[in-house]
Amino acid sequence: MLSISVCQLTKNSLYIIKNAETSSSNSLSDAGVLRATECLPEIFGATSNYNIGLIMTCTPDPDTGSCQASLATAQPIAESLGLTVDTSCAAGESTSDHCIKTTISNFAAGSADAVLLIWDENHLSDLRTEFGLRDLFQDQVDAIYTLRNYIYVSETPQNCGGLDSMSSDPVGPADPPVNAPPIVDTLPSPPAAPPAPQATPSPSPTLQIKPMLDLYYTTTFTIPDPIPTPPVVSIVQPDAVAGFVKRRRLHSRKSCRLGLFSSQGVLH
């Protein structure tokens, strides 16, 4: 039966705030008392549109002071609505699994009113684990978180008059007192900066195409003049010439004799 109530989603709106401002003793400070007694009952009271039907806070621990400020923040709202604060769910290591969701589911079974959850600022990790809210209340003391079906919907400020104006309004320079002499700026004005030189646009690169002849190597051959061939000279030795002439003469004489003999019939 417990698992069914935990897993069951609820359409009841859930509003989460943390305790009002505290002092070093974990009790409400003067600003916290003003927020708890004057501002929050106006926001969540009977005349508001929140329609709160259940107020929950963590179980106060008198020994450590845990959740004391949360209960002190919740009681004025509960009184204005005629409700009793539910403190059945412990905080920190003492909390039980899904105690908050179980309590809300049991309430939602018989009512459609909204639920106001006021938790101790020192145990906000309980809510981060229970609802998966990683950025819950980083530094905001006046934030109201709205969830439906346990899913984050929005974050709105409480706008508690002068309490939140100091933290929400931007801090500016203080106004000078009335009848105060005008403030004269005696500091010299800084010299005007020289105009920045205008950069001359560089010419756009162009593509140069070389002639086709430049794409080949040219080689020059030098043909020398033909060397004249000297004539072949036959050199005849004198002795050889003399022998030739002598043999020529003998041959001539022999021929003459042979012819003479033939003519005379000596030879047959």
What would the DSSP string read from start to end of 13-75?
EEEEEE---B-TTSSB-HHHHHIIIIIHHHHHSTTSSS-EEEEEEPPP-TTT-TTHHHHHHHH
What pLDDT digit, counting tens, does each position of 143-193 carry? 999 999 999 999 999 999 888 754 443 333 333 333 334 444 444 455 565
State CA 138 to chain mean position distance: 24
Which CATH code, of 3.40.50.620, 3.40.50.1240, 3.30.70.141, 3.40.50.720, is assigned to 2-167? 3.40.50.1240
pLDDT at 136: 74
- Indicate the domain borders of the chain: 2-167
What would the DSSP string read from start to end of 98-131?
THHHHHHHHHHTT---EEEEEE-GGGTHHHHHHH
Q: Evaluate if residue 257 carries a pLDDT over 80.
A: no
What pLDDT digit, counting tens, does each position of 207-237 carry? 454 444 444 444 554 555 555 544 444 444 5
Whole-angstrom Cα distance, residue 15 to residue 188? 57
Q: Hunting for tokens 């984050």 — which residue is that?
A: 152
Cβ(13)–Cβ(114) below 8 Å: yes
pTM (2 decimals)? 0.59
Residue partners of 139: CB distance under 8 A and separation at least 6: none
What the block records as the tokens of 145 is 């978180």
What the block records as the tokens of 143 is 């934030």
Phi, psi at 44, each rounded to 5°: -105, 5
Whole-angstrom Cα distance, residue 86 to residue 88? 6
| HSE-up (13 A, CA, CB side) for residue 80 | 20
